Amino acid sequence: MKLHCFHGFLGNKSQFDFLKSHFNVISYNMYDLCGGSKEAGYSNISISNEDVVIGYSFGARFALELLDRFSPKLFFALGGHAGLNPEQIEDRAKVEELFLGKLKNLDRDDFIKYWNSLDLFKHDEPITGESYNKEVLINMFEEFGLSKQKNYKEIIKANKDKIVWVNGLKDKKYSDYCEQEIAPLGVECVYLKAGHRLLQKETEILDIVKNKVKNI
Protein backbone atom coordinates (compact mmCIF):
# COMPACT_ATOMS: atom_id res chain seq x y z
CA MET A 1 0.00 0.00 0.00
CA LYS A 2 1.25 3.45 -0.96
CA LEU A 3 0.05 6.79 0.37
CA HIS A 4 -0.17 9.34 -2.46
CA CYS A 5 -0.03 12.92 -1.11
CA PHE A 6 -0.91 16.22 -2.79
CA HIS A 7 -0.09 19.55 -1.14
CA GLY A 8 -1.89 22.86 -1.41
CA PHE A 9 -1.36 26.21 -3.12
CA LEU A 10 2.00 27.70 -2.02
CA GLY A 11 2.78 24.45 -0.17
CA ASN A 12 5.45 21.85 -0.79
CA LYS A 13 5.69 18.08 -0.79
CA SER A 14 7.84 17.96 2.36
CA GLN A 15 4.71 18.88 4.35
CA PHE A 16 3.81 15.17 4.25
CA ASP A 17 7.16 13.95 5.62
CA PHE A 18 5.55 13.33 9.03
CA LEU A 19 3.67 10.39 7.49
CA LYS A 20 6.83 8.60 6.36
CA SER A 21 7.46 6.97 9.73
CA HIS A 22 4.31 4.87 9.27
CA PHE A 23 3.62 4.72 5.54
CA ASN A 24 5.20 4.26 2.14
CA VAL A 25 4.66 7.86 1.04
CA ILE A 26 4.69 9.20 -2.50
CA SER A 27 4.46 12.97 -2.16
CA TYR A 28 3.92 14.94 -5.36
CA ASN A 29 5.29 18.36 -6.24
CA MET A 30 2.18 20.23 -7.37
CA TYR A 31 4.33 22.73 -9.26
CA ASP A 32 5.48 19.87 -11.50
CA LEU A 33 1.93 18.60 -11.97
CA CYS A 34 0.23 21.96 -12.55
CA GLY A 35 2.55 23.76 -14.95
CA GLY A 36 0.53 22.79 -18.02
CA SER A 37 -2.88 21.41 -18.91
CA LYS A 38 -5.09 19.37 -16.62
CA GLU A 39 -4.63 16.23 -18.65
CA ALA A 40 -0.85 16.65 -18.60
CA GLY A 41 -1.02 17.02 -14.84
CA TYR A 42 -2.76 13.69 -14.39
CA SER A 43 -0.98 11.78 -17.14
CA ASN A 44 1.98 10.47 -15.13
CA ILE A 45 0.07 9.46 -11.99
CA SER A 46 -0.83 5.83 -11.41
CA ILE A 47 -2.70 4.62 -8.32
CA SER A 48 -3.79 1.08 -7.50
CA ASN A 49 -7.01 0.12 -5.75
CA GLU A 50 -4.90 -0.88 -2.73
CA ASP A 51 -3.42 2.61 -2.38
CA VAL A 52 -4.52 5.60 -0.31
CA VAL A 53 -4.82 9.20 -1.49
CA ILE A 54 -4.57 12.28 0.71
CA GLY A 55 -4.90 15.84 -0.53
CA TYR A 56 -4.86 19.17 1.25
CA SER A 57 -6.93 22.15 0.03
CA PHE A 58 -5.91 22.73 -3.62
CA GLY A 59 -4.34 19.27 -3.56
CA ALA A 60 -7.60 17.74 -2.32
CA ARG A 61 -9.48 19.28 -5.24
CA PHE A 62 -6.83 18.08 -7.68
CA ALA A 63 -6.94 14.57 -6.20
CA LEU A 64 -10.71 14.18 -6.61
CA GLU A 65 -10.08 13.39 -10.27
CA LEU A 66 -7.90 10.50 -9.13
CA LEU A 67 -10.74 9.18 -6.99
CA ASP A 68 -12.75 8.96 -10.19
CA ARG A 69 -9.99 7.51 -12.39
CA PHE A 70 -8.39 4.97 -10.07
CA SER A 71 -10.76 4.15 -7.18
CA PRO A 72 -8.16 4.03 -4.38
CA LYS A 73 -8.87 2.10 -1.19
CA LEU A 74 -9.14 5.26 0.91
CA PHE A 75 -9.34 8.97 0.15
CA PHE A 76 -8.62 11.75 2.66
CA ALA A 77 -9.66 15.31 1.80
CA LEU A 78 -8.17 17.92 4.13
CA GLY A 79 -10.04 21.20 3.75
CA GLY A 80 -11.29 20.17 0.32
CA HIS A 81 -14.09 21.30 -1.99
CA ALA A 82 -16.21 19.04 -4.20
CA GLY A 83 -16.93 21.67 -6.85
CA LEU A 84 -19.39 24.45 -7.52
CA ASN A 85 -22.97 24.48 -8.65
CA PRO A 86 -23.49 26.31 -11.98
CA GLU A 87 -24.94 29.42 -10.34
CA GLN A 88 -21.82 29.81 -8.16
CA ILE A 89 -19.23 29.75 -10.93
CA GLU A 90 -19.45 33.38 -12.05
CA ASP A 91 -18.92 34.80 -8.56
CA ARG A 92 -16.02 32.45 -7.90
CA ALA A 93 -14.40 33.39 -11.22
CA LYS A 94 -14.41 37.03 -10.08
CA VAL A 95 -12.64 36.06 -6.85
CA GLU A 96 -10.03 34.15 -8.81
CA GLU A 97 -9.48 37.15 -11.10
CA LEU A 98 -8.78 39.23 -7.99
CA PHE A 99 -6.25 36.67 -6.79
CA LEU A 100 -4.66 36.55 -10.24
CA GLY A 101 -4.32 40.31 -10.30
CA LYS A 102 -2.51 40.26 -6.96
CA LEU A 103 -0.30 37.39 -8.08
CA LYS A 104 0.68 39.09 -11.34
CA ASN A 105 1.27 42.55 -9.89
CA LEU A 106 2.85 41.91 -6.49
CA ASP A 107 6.36 40.66 -5.91
CA ARG A 108 6.94 37.36 -4.13
CA ASP A 109 7.15 38.68 -0.56
CA ASP A 110 4.17 41.01 -0.92
CA PHE A 111 1.98 38.31 -2.44
CA ILE A 112 2.81 35.82 0.31
CA LYS A 113 2.08 38.52 2.90
CA TYR A 114 -1.25 39.20 1.17
CA TRP A 115 -2.09 35.48 0.99
CA ASN A 116 -1.35 34.92 4.67
CA SER A 117 -3.59 37.89 5.54
CA LEU A 118 -6.70 36.34 3.98
CA ASP A 119 -9.51 35.69 6.44
CA LEU A 120 -9.39 31.98 5.60
CA PHE A 121 -5.99 31.69 7.29
CA LYS A 122 -6.49 33.92 10.33
CA HIS A 123 -6.25 30.95 12.74
CA ASP A 124 -3.14 29.46 11.10
CA GLU A 125 0.58 29.99 11.28
CA PRO A 126 1.82 32.00 8.27
CA ILE A 127 3.58 30.14 5.48
CA THR A 128 6.81 31.26 3.84
CA GLY A 129 6.05 30.10 0.31
CA GLU A 130 9.55 28.75 -0.25
CA SER A 131 8.29 26.85 -3.30
CA TYR A 132 6.94 30.03 -4.91
CA ASN A 133 6.81 29.87 -8.71
CA LYS A 134 4.76 32.72 -10.14
CA GLU A 135 4.22 31.18 -13.58
CA VAL A 136 2.90 27.91 -12.19
CA LEU A 137 0.83 29.60 -9.48
CA ILE A 138 -0.89 31.64 -12.19
CA ASN A 139 -1.61 28.44 -14.10
CA MET A 140 -3.06 26.88 -10.95
CA PHE A 141 -5.80 29.50 -11.10
CA GLU A 142 -6.19 29.63 -14.87
CA GLU A 143 -6.23 25.86 -15.46
CA PHE A 144 -7.08 24.31 -12.08
CA GLY A 145 -9.08 27.03 -10.30
CA LEU A 146 -12.24 26.11 -8.41
CA SER A 147 -14.31 27.92 -11.05
CA LYS A 148 -12.77 25.58 -13.68
CA GLN A 149 -13.27 22.39 -11.65
CA LYS A 150 -16.06 19.97 -12.40
CA ASN A 151 -18.46 19.05 -9.63
CA TYR A 152 -17.47 15.71 -8.06
CA LYS A 153 -20.45 15.25 -5.73
CA GLU A 154 -21.86 12.23 -7.56
CA ILE A 155 -18.43 10.59 -7.60
CA ILE A 156 -18.03 11.33 -3.90
CA LYS A 157 -21.46 9.87 -3.15
CA ALA A 158 -20.59 6.70 -5.09
CA ASN A 159 -17.36 6.33 -3.09
CA LYS A 160 -18.65 7.60 0.25
CA ASP A 161 -17.50 4.60 2.30
CA LYS A 162 -13.84 5.13 1.43
CA ILE A 163 -13.70 8.91 2.00
CA VAL A 164 -12.78 10.89 5.11
CA TRP A 165 -13.26 14.67 4.90
CA VAL A 166 -11.22 16.55 7.51
CA ASN A 167 -11.88 20.17 8.50
CA GLY A 168 -10.77 22.72 11.05
CA LEU A 169 -13.51 23.94 13.37
CA LYS A 170 -11.98 27.42 13.40
CA ASP A 171 -12.23 27.43 9.62
CA LYS A 172 -15.95 28.14 9.63
CA LYS A 173 -16.17 28.48 5.85
CA TYR A 174 -14.98 24.94 5.13
CA SER A 175 -16.39 23.23 8.22
CA ASP A 176 -19.84 24.67 7.44
CA TYR A 177 -19.41 23.63 3.81
CA CYS A 178 -18.61 20.07 4.86
CA GLU A 179 -21.59 19.88 7.19
CA GLN A 180 -23.98 21.26 4.59
CA GLU A 181 -22.65 19.76 1.34
CA ILE A 182 -20.41 16.76 2.07
CA ALA A 183 -21.93 15.05 5.12
CA PRO A 184 -25.35 14.68 3.38
CA LEU A 185 -23.57 12.56 0.74
CA GLY A 186 -22.87 9.97 3.44
CA VAL A 187 -19.20 10.88 3.86
CA GLU A 188 -17.44 10.68 7.22
CA CYS A 189 -16.56 14.23 8.29
CA VAL A 190 -13.95 14.88 10.98
CA TYR A 191 -13.53 18.23 12.71
CA LEU A 192 -10.29 19.26 14.41
CA LYS A 193 -9.54 22.20 16.68
CA ALA A 194 -7.70 23.93 13.87
CA GLY A 195 -7.91 26.51 11.13
CA HIS A 196 -7.68 25.83 7.40
CA ARG A 197 -4.01 24.81 7.28
CA LEU A 198 -4.58 21.31 8.55
CA LEU A 199 -1.08 20.07 7.74
CA GLN A 200 0.06 22.22 10.67
CA LYS A 201 -1.69 19.61 12.85
CA GLU A 202 0.64 16.71 12.07
CA THR A 203 -0.10 14.56 15.12
CA GLU A 204 -3.85 14.76 14.65
CA ILE A 205 -3.70 14.04 10.92
CA LEU A 206 -1.34 11.11 11.45
CA ASP A 207 -3.71 9.63 14.03
CA ILE A 208 -6.71 9.98 11.71
CA VAL A 209 -4.91 8.27 8.83
CA LYS A 210 -3.44 5.49 11.01
CA ASN A 211 -6.76 4.68 12.66
CA LYS A 212 -8.62 4.54 9.37
CA VAL A 213 -5.99 2.50 7.56
CA LYS A 214 -5.77 -0.15 10.28
CA ASN A 215 -9.51 -0.79 9.99
CA ILE A 216 -9.59 -1.53 6.27
What's the pLDDT tens digit per position in 104-121? 999 999 999 999 999 999
Give the pLDDT of residue 131.
86
- Domain residues of the chain, as ranges? 2-83+150-213, 87-142
- pLDDT of 130 > 90? The answer is no
The pLDDT tens digits for 143-188 are 999 999 999 999 999 999 999 999 999 999 999 999 999 999 999 9
Full-model pTM: 0.97
Give the pLDDT of residue 133.
95
The domain defined by 2-83+150-213 carries CATH number 3.40.50.1820? yes
Mean pLDDT, the chain, whole residue set: 97
Mean pLDDT of 35-44: 95
**Contacts by residues 157-161 (CB-CB < 8 Å, ≥ 24 positions apart):** 157/185, 157/186, 159/67, 159/71, 159/75, 160/185, 160/186, 160/187, 161/186
Q: Specify whether the CB–CB gap between 7 and 137 falls below 8 A.
A: no
* C-alpha gyration radius of the chain: 16
Mean pLDDT of 44-68: 97
The pLDDT tens digits for 69-102 are 999 999 999 999 999 999 999 999 999 999 999 9
Give the pLDDT of residue 68.
93
| CA–CA dist 168, 145 (Å, integer) | 22
